[in-house]
Structure 1
Amino acid sequence: MHGRRLTQVDRSREPGASGFVRVFKFFVRSFNIPVETRLRPARTPRSPADRESDARPDRRQAILLAAEKLFAQNGYHAVSIRQIAIEAEVPLALVAYYYGQKHELFEAIFEHWRPTIDERLTRLQAAVDDGGPDLLNHIVEAFVQPVLRIRASAEGEFYALLVARELGYASPEADRVLRRHFDPLAHAFIDALRLALPHASVGACAWAYQFALGALLHHLSDQRVQRLSLGANTPNDVSSHPMLVRFIEGGIRAALPPPPAPPAASAPVSSRRRSTHRRQP
């Protein structure tokens, strides 16, 4: 009987539905749980593959940006995969997982910036289609302006410096990039120069392209102009861009002038003599 009464007493103390709600509200208020999370349904567990796919773009991009920065600052051969991983704050093995060997990562940077080359080709084709007396100026604008705009941007600064630094060296890695990405661009501009200057040979136009490229690449990487100008100029000053365009255009015109016009044809000597002995009416 005594144990039976205990059982009855214990059951009488169990809270009903309303009592449970009061206890639950007290618990919520005591621990200051936000309203929207109080009765939130349990989330479905995500697989490791799903979590990796969410993080992959950021980590992949971080590796690419780190390599671009270090290659631009120190040169391709002075940078190790370990340094790139440290800069990107990723595990060392992840660099090879995403990009393979170092030269493949180097080429991936230029593949990433391929739209810049496409923009230059599009502007060049538009200039050729328009034609007109300002064709050479429009060709130079298409050659220079997209690159200068990238150099002036925060996201493209290191890429522009990388182009200026690495593509001037005859390393196997740079040569592969030049042949794949930049040689077709160069041929397109040389062909356009021949249209603007039909009197010039393909060899002369190729020299003109190389001289123009040298001026552009030096402008991208130059840090000396501030010292030479005694502080009047600053590196990568956008106000200097029109001057660079005029310099390249003027240099090409001066280097590839049209041939002199042939002298005007004069009347034969015998006919002039006959005209002087005509009888006057």
Structure 2
Amino acid sequence: MRRSFAGSLTGALALTAMAVAAPQASGGAAAPDGVVIGGQPVQISESPWVVALSSRDRFGGTRAGQFCGGVLVAPAKVLTAAHCVSSDVLGVPLGQVRDLRVIAGRSTLKATGGREITVSGVQLNPAYDAKTNEGDFALLTLLDPLPASDTIRVAGPGSAAYTAGTGAMVYGWGDTTGGGAYAGELRAAPVKVLPDSACERAYPGRAQGTYRPETMLCAGDENGGHDACQGDSGGPLVAGGRLIGLVSWGSGCGQAESPGVYARLSAAPETWAARS
């Protein structure tokens, strides 16, 4: 079954039975310290554009309410996955979430550093299709801006960063094993941009979902062991210092035959982020 990589709906770390928040099947050669399967800790100072989406009202305080990731693309603008702000993930319509915030400048969720900023507006990609996850983008507006120096630029259409074989990094606070072991500190894992054909073979249109290269990007590890996982949705895939994707969906975590599927940033609305 196709699964998104959004976090669980409970205040603790127990996972719900909903498809979008169900536990990922474990498998592959996941390293014991892997988050974003097969990763390692990174300092937020090295990647200040990585942010966490938080709602303690919906997800409790165990991990500061973190349930998805996001990327700062302008001082008051954050890109995330559209499905992260859906009622399937939040458990209620977005308008009923009383404390949607972005946590910035904080590597460890339990720490008190950084800033927690209220989200004052949410704009869904007009081309987003919730049934297929095509165009899985949302733009959050922050009540207070962050430093422009903390932002990251998006790789534009035709950029070499999207070329198959390019090394990339995926970031998040998600599941470290595929079995519900969530990270408390930011981690990153190395992956490669894979040919579209790899995801077309893995997701040809059956229960796992259908890969659409126009709006999706395929990345992972040909041998397994490095991947995004539960709780990483909306987080960044970065290559060559540019944002190329957002964690969107997949089947399992860290499995060679089931690469991660990312929202392709070259397909995002042009006015949403600076490109180069």
- Scaled by the length of structure 2, the TM-score of the pair is 0.21
The structure with more radius of gyration: 1
Structure having the higher strand fraction is: 2
- Scaled by the length of structure 1, the TM-score of the pair is 0.20
Comparing both chains, which one has the higher relative contact order based on Cα–Cα distances under 8 Å and sequence gaps of 6 or more? 2
Structure having the higher helix fraction is: 1
